[in-house]
Chain A
Amino acid sequence: MTETVVFAVCAVCAVASGAAVFVVDSMARATFALLASFLLTAAAILLLGLSYLGVLVVLMMIMEMMVMAVFMIMYMMNPAGLMPMTMVHNKAGSLVVSVGVFLLLAAGAVFVPWPERTGEPPADPTLALGEAVMGEHMLVMMLVGLVLFATMVAATVLTTHRGRYERYGDDLRRESPDDPIGGGLDR
């Protein structure tokens, strides 16, 4: 009973703070509303006994929203929300599409005959997850590692101000790099 009440409160507040992201003026407030939404859904995940994944979501979202707040202030013209302004296009159409999608998904969630539950949760779901990603699902873990590494490289390449083509020319044939301040021993 207590779990049901906690879940209901978390679910309603998670959706409400998720909607608040696109309503509030201040970008900082939007970021923290999103963080609240993520933390409340993480509480719902924790209610399922997924302690590791729930805590993982909590920690990752706190870090991610801190980074997000920095980028918000960098890229938004109105970070503090001192002037009320809206930056939206096709609001009515978006509202119609999202309400339609919600009704479709909700109808699916309610009316689909979901399969009966088989088995009981293991005593330690984290152990089961660890054994899965180090056993039969190892390919998933390897791909995730590879993708994360590729993301690090690609994000660095995309964001760097001066790459190899700026330094060595479009065909990379320049003898010495064209740097504002030369490096190396014999400068």
Chain B
Amino acid sequence: MILEAYLLLAAALFSVGLFGALSQQSVVMVMMGLELMVNAVIVAAASLWFFVSPERADGQVLVLVAVTAMAVEMAMGFAVTTAIFRARDVDMVDMAADLGDGGDR
């Protein structure tokens, strides 16, 4: 196993997640894409810890932070989804474009 293989896995996961976050219309599916992207960060941080500086725990701490970020993203994402669904019946990202410039709506 080499570092490059792990980083390629991370890059592939990140790209798949990016595709989902950009292309999906449902809020929940967009969040799935974001989760895949954070998962790529976890893989990259763990492999950099193992292959570059295993005697220091910095990479492991970064994994811990990424896992926390994933949990926070999920909790706040669903909270916002629930709030906007309750207020305006919005469950698709295109319906919540109030802050956009309105050029292509």
Contact = CB atoms under 8 A, between A and B. Distances in A.
Q: Which 6 A-B pairs have the closest CB atoms?
A: A119-B55, A109-B7, A105-B11, A102-B15, A132-B57, A94-B23
A50 B11 contact: no
Q: Which secondary structure dominates chain A's binding surface?
A: helix
A159 B82 contact: yes
A80 interface: no
Given A87-B26, A129-B61, A98 B43 contact: no
Interface residues of B, number: 71
A56 interface: yes
A155 B78 CA distance: 8
Given A11-B9, A64-B71, A93-B22, A21 B55 contact: no
Interface in A152-170: 152, 154-156, 158-159, 161
Interface residues of A, number: 81
A94 B64 contact: no
Interface string B63-87: 1110110111011101111110110
Residue in B1, B24, B46 with the greatest tally of chain A CB atoms within 10 Å: B46
A176 interface: no
A49 B1 CA distance: 13
